[in-house]
Structures are given as C-alpha cells and as structure tokens.
Amino acid sequence: MDLNAFGRGAAQACSNSKMSDAEPHTGTTIVACTYNGGVVLGADGRVSTGNYVSNRASNKIMQLTDNVYLLRSGSAADTQAIGDYVRYFSEQLAGELGDDPSVQTIANLVGTMNYNNKNMLMGALLVAGFDKHSGGQVFGVPIGGTIVPEKWAIDGSGSTYIWGYMDSAWKPDMTREEAEGFVTEALALAMARDASSGGVIRTVTLDKDGATMRYVGGNEVPLFHEELQPPAAAAAGTASMVVG
C-alpha cells in the first residue's frame, strides 16, 4: 500500500504544479466493509482538477453487475474506462454462466486490467459485492494490479487520515446499522481533513436481497473537531440572494 501512496503523491505533485496541465482526478476517500450478512461501500463526492473542484457531488460508486460494485479512486478517466470494460466482460460472462459471476471473478477482471496496463493506468480500486457462495466480500485492487481480499478496505487520498480510526473502530460481525454508521463516520473524518475529499457521502449496502443506496447531503455530513455548522438558511434549503 505504501507504493500506492508514493505513486499517487508523485502524480499529484505533477498535476498540482499547473492547473491547466492537471487531469481531473478523484482525490478521494473510498471505504468498503463487510458485516454479518453483507457489505457496505461508501465514497465522498469531490472531483478536483488541481485546486478547482470540478464536481462536488459526483458518484464514485459504479455498478458492475447486479451484486458487485466498484469504488473508484485515482484518475477519473482511467477508472471509468476500467469500470466500463469490466462491466462489459461481466455481462458476457453472466450470459455464458447463466448466473451472476462471483465477486472474486469480477475482482480478478479488474485486477487483470490494472496489471496488464500498469504502465498507462492510475486506478486504485475497491471491488465489493455479495454472492450466494461466499456472502459479502471486499477486494482491494490498487495501482499495479494486486488483488487482495480483505474484511474491510479503504483507498484514495483521504484514506491516509483514517487508518488509525479504521484499525481501532472496526470489529467483526457488525450489524448492518453498525457497519453503515462505521463507513459514514470514516468518510466524514477523512473529508474533514483531506482537501481533495469532501462534498457528499454516498453509500451502497449489499445483502442477499439486493442493493440499497443512501445519500448524505453536504450539510448532513457529520462534523468533527472545530468544524463549523452549516448556516441555518442553507440547512433549511432557502437561498437568499443579495441584489444590488
């Protein structure tokens, strides 16, 4: 994982030197966590080009099949392309199998793309899903093409700030509510400290009954140490324009 921070750091240093040279990248926080009966995935919403936030409410969670999702961090273009290819191959495979592919198979496809094109791509991805053979699963697929099954995983620039929190707060066999709270809390903490992460929180919970998407708007994201509450007017949803 250290190598990825190095790679990402080097790429960010290059991209931040001149905003016009920088390509949009998902300086991001992504989190995925298994629980007793499924898996919860979460991501922030900020896409930035240098210091300019090009999208403050983007969706970094990409659906690959009915039961497997991809969390994207790194280059926005690269990760979207990888996701599109894997979605295509997964659909073909599902047709051949006559059934949903396993989460491991999808993770392998993502890893294959990352590995075979490692000179060109910069995508640090998490693959998370639920299949009937092995339940909820999380795979880390960092830059380079490693595939690592984990109980929980984080990635993106914001993840560096929450390793300690994850290590101390994660416990096995959480309930669905505990896991959703855990993921949301982790994202909010990272978004508080990482300049490249922020905006909104999106989560997806996968279990045997399917997927549930949740959205936490910018003014509902949990706040921490010395963070300012959003203004009352904004919270109520009314915008006041000053004319003149």
Write out the residues near another protein by the rule CB under 8 A: 93, 96-99, 101-102, 104-105, 107-109, 111-112, 133, 147
Q: Minimum CB separation from another protein for residue 133, in Å?
A: 6
Least Å from the CB of residue 156 to another protein:
24
Pick 133 or 225: Cβ nearer another protein: 133
For another protein, give the closer residue by CB, 53 or 127. Answer: 127
**Dihedral sign (CA 117, 61, 201, 77):** positive
Closest CA to 15 of 68, 51, 58: 51
Given 28, 29, 79, 205, which residue is catalytic?
28
Residue 5 in tokens: 């921070």
Question: Would the CA dihedral through 159, 160, 165, 167 be positive or negative?
Answer: positive
How many residues are listed for the chain in this entry?
A: 244
Single-letter residue type at 115: Y
Q: What is the DSSP letter of 150?
A: E
Residue with tokens 């280059």: 75
Encoded amino acid at 150, one letter: E
Cα 14 versus chain centre, distance: 23
Nearer to another protein, 139 or 182 (CB): 139
Instruction: Give the nearer residue to another protein in terms of CB position, either 114 or 159.
Output: 114
Residue 213, SS3 per DSSP: strand
Whole-angstrom distance, CA of residue 160 vs CA of residue 47:
18
Residue 20 burial (CB count, 10 A): 6
User: Closer CB to another protein, residue 132 or residue 171?
Assistant: 132
In the bound state with another protein, the residue whose beta carbon lies nearer, of 107 and 192, is 107
**In angstroms, what is the minimal distance from the CB of 80 to another protein?**
22
Q: How far is the CB of 100 from another protein (least distance, A)?
A: 10
Q: Tokens 């990760």 map to which residue?
A: 79
> Which residue's structure tokens are 């101390």?
168
Residue 101 CB, nearest approach to another protein (Å): 8
146 is catalytic: no
Q: How far is the CB of 107 from another protein (least distance, A)?
A: 7
Burial of 154 (0-12, 13-18, 19+ CB in 10 A): buried
Residues recognised as catalytic: 28
